[in-house]
């Protein structure tokens, strides 16, 4: 599809904001990119492919920032990756109808909006009780990976609240794990799409540049400074609006 210059500029600005806000908590921003693209009626294959590529870039920047700041703990991360990676690859190969895709994406956006608006986080002083059990981590990783591969997200929006709720890690450790999880699963999802012949990149160059800048800004703030909760709540409302539009298309 052809885009006018004003629309390209608008999407670039929105992607910068999305990347900044999401990367501040270790997320790649796929649900935000998908919400933006849904407003401009992009095709599902273009949306999911673009979101995964941008996710890969922004989550990679976030992981580097949180890792360099000393927040990454591989003992929290690897149990989820064992099953999430092959599941995300399989999910990336699965082709669904536009109606089913819109419904799945709407549900993902509603969950993401709830996370952003409510900002369910543990306090820094809360104690970490244990590491995740394989009996829990393996099926959770597989489930998140499969849905993530189909829709075109990295899955951090699902994994991070579980880690915080179960007190498996501190907030910044959770952000580091989430960034790593999103990075690896986004790559697996892209490879699945490439293998299944559904990878459709389209016009990405200007969006990649602005998402890259947003990822740099947000990940630095998240790893070293405080992030803004008010802006995340505004983004949550935007996701709700996008999910409403997608529900109308799917029901």
pLDDT digit string, tens, across residues 46-85 = 888 889 999 999 999 989 988 998 989 898 999 999 999 9
Helix axes 229-250, 30-39, angle to 10 degrees: 50
**CB neighbourhood size of 228 (10 A):** 14
**What's the CA gap between 171 and 167, in Å, rounded?**
9
Q: Biggest alpha carbon distance in the chain?
A: 53
**CB neighbourhood size of 115 (10 A):** 22
**What's the CA gap between 129 and 196, in Å, rounded?**
42
Sign of the CA dihedral with 50 first, then 51, 56, and 60 last: positive
What pTM, to 2 d.p., does this model score? 0.84
Q: Who wins on pLDDT, 247 or 106?
A: 106
Where do the domains of the chain lie?
Answer: 7-250
In the chain, which ranges are continuous DSSP H helix? 5-23, 30-39, 44-68, 74-93, 98-118, 134-151, 156-165, 171-196, 205-224, 229-250
pLDDT digits (tens, 9 = 90+) for 201-237: 777 778 888 999 998 988 887 777 655 566 567 667 7
Band the pLDDT of 109: cuts 50, 70, 90: confident
Torsion (CA) 132, 133, 135, 136 in degrees, nearest 10: -20
């Amino acid at each position: 599809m052809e885009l006018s210059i004003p629309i390209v500029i608008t999407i670039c600005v929105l992607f910068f904001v999305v990347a900044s806000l999401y990367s501040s908590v270790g997320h790649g921003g796929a649900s935000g990119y998908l919400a933006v693209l849904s407003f401009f009626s992009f095709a599902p294959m273009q949306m999911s492919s673009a979101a995964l590529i941008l996710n890969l870039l922004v989550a990679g920047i976030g992981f580097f920032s949180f890792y360099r700041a000393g927040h990454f703990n591989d003992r929290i991360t690897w149990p989820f990756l064992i099953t999430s990676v092959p599941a995300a690859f399989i999910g990336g190969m699965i082709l669904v109808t536009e109606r089913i895709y819109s419904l799945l994406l709407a549900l993902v956006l509603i969950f993401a909006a709830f996370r952003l608006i409510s900002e369910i986080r543990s306090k820094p002083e809360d104690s970490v009780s244990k590491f995740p059990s394989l009996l829990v981590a393996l099926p959770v990783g597989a489930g998140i990976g499969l849905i993530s591969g189909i829709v075109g997200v990295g899955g951090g929006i699902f994994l991070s609240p579980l880690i915080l709720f179960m007190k498996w890690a501190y907030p910044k450790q959770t952000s580091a794990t989430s960034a790593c999880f999103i990075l690896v699963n986004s790559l697996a999802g892209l490879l699945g799409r490439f293998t299944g012949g559904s990878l459709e990149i389209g016009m990405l160059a200007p969006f990649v540049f602005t998402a890259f800048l947003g990822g740099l800004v947000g990940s630095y703030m998240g790893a070293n400074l405080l992030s803004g909760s008010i802006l995340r709540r505004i983004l949550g409302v935007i996701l709700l609006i996008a999910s409403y539009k997608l529900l109308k298309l799917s029901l």
